[in-house]
Amino acid sequence: METLRTPQERFADLPGFPYRPRHAEVGDGLRMAYVEAGPPNGRPVVLLHGEPTWSFLYRHVMRVLAAAGLRAIAVDLIGFGRSDKPAAVADHSYAAHVEWTRALLFDALELSGATLVGQDWGGLIGLRIAAEHPERVSGIVAANTGLPTGDIPMPEVWHRFKDTVLKAPVLDIARLVQAGCKSELPPEVRAAYDAPFPDERYKAGPRALPGLVPITPDDPAAPANRAAWRILTTLDRPFLVAFSDGDPITGGMAPILRESISGASGLRHPVIKDAGHFLQEDAGPELGRQIAVFVTST
């Protein structure tokens, strides 16, 4: 596997993101990056981003969690942020991303009693990890995400996004992030989303992930996701559904999660107002507040 590593100077002067990067080996010779905020002995809250962002997305959320005395851990998926980047689209698979992330959280960081927060692909990975290792997880937050099995069609807007990512000669990362926000991103924030990808060679991860979403019942990842659903529907872990009010891609999953997941019963599930798909950008402090209340009260 050919891998690329983004030069550190690309990450100079990130707005509102002063956290020192840390790294751990996760197998296949790959180094995975993460940042932390808050007291080291605080209750761990793992923040998992999606496509095509990185841990920078959670900068507003991290400040709120740290102020609440929680240990916020924001991860860069392999192929994103400061993590190593396999150079070929074929090097990425759903199962590999689940295993890489599991290895970081449980082998390298040795976390237990963690709350997993997943948005977009962060949920596709995090929900699988929670279902497959429930003894290490104390709570789950799903924010604009889901766990597709290919049994229910994806919305047309998602198919348009997938085609754009796969076919664009030049993949404009900052433009994709902006398209998922209601607020206007300042130039320095757009530059931060472009920072991990000096040129097209570094973008195999963002190009690969849309094609790994199970959209047919016979997808290779569909059986594992169905098994995860069966576990999550009866799992006795508190499960918060914190979706925005303006996500055309995953919005339809919110009522399904609230009604299907055992741990969601009896909880007050917030709707984050005036926010798009990337609700961390549009309403990060509010999302952070909702997560902090959930973690400290359950």
Q: How far is CA 58 from CA 24, 75, 171, 201, 269, in A?
A: 20, 10, 22, 25, 20
pLDDT at 194: 98
Under 8 Å between Cβ of 111 and 141: no
What digits encode the pLDDT tens for the residues 192-206?
Answer: 999 999 999 999 999
Question: Considering only CA atoms, which of 74, 96, 78, 93 is closest in space to residue 30?
Answer: 78
Task: Provide mean pLDDT across the span 229-234.
Answer: 97
pLDDT at 158: 83
Examine the pLDDT at 269 and tell me if it is beyond 90.
yes
What digits encode the pLDDT tens for the residues 87-126?
Answer: 999 999 999 999 999 999 999 999 999 999 999 999 999 9
Q: How far is CA 252 from CA 88, 128, 145, 146, 245, in A?
A: 32, 20, 10, 9, 11
Task: Provide mean pLDDT across the span 61-71.
Answer: 98
Task: Provide mean pLDDT across the span 204-226.
Answer: 95
Tell me the C-alpha distance between 69 and 124, whole Å. Answer: 27
State the catalytic residues: 120, 247, 277
Examine the pLDDT at 279 and tell me if it is beyond 90.
yes
- More reliable by pLDDT, 124 or 298: 124
According to DSSP, the β-strands at 3-4 and 85-86 are antiparallel
Residues facing 48 on adjacent strands: 75, 118
pLDDT band for position 156 (cuts 50, 70, 90): confident
Tell me the C-alpha distance between 32 and 28, whole Å. Answer: 11
Task: Provide mean pLDDT across the span 119-145.
Answer: 98
According to DSSP, the β-strands at 114-119 and 44-48 are parallel
Question: Considering only CA atoms, which of 100, 49, 46 is closest in space to residue 73?
Answer: 46
Task: Provide mean pLDDT across the span 135-156.
Answer: 94
Under 8 Å between Cβ of 189 and 15: yes
**Which SS3 state, helix, strand or coil, does residue 15 take?**
coil
In this structure, of 84-88, 250-254, 276-280, the range with the lowest mean pLDDT score is 250-254
Tell me the C-alpha distance between 120 and 54, whole Å. Answer: 11
Mean pLDDT of the chain: 96
pLDDT at 154: 84
Under 8 Å between Cβ of 48 and 280: no
Examine the pLDDT at 157 and tell me if it is beyond 90.
no
What digits encode the pLDDT tens for the residues 15-48?
Answer: 999 999 999 999 989 999 999 999 999 999 999 9
Q: Residue 91 gets which letter from DSSP?
A: G
pLDDT band for position 155 (cuts 50, 70, 90): confident
Global pTM value = 0.97
**Share above pLDDT 70 across residues of the chain, in percent, rounded to a whole number:** 100
Examine the pLDDT at 162 and tell me if it is beyond 90.
no
Question: Considering only CA atoms, which of 211, 96, 107, 101 is closest in space to residue 162?
Answer: 211
Examine the pLDDT at 298 and tell me if it is beyond 90.
no
pLDDT at 28: 84
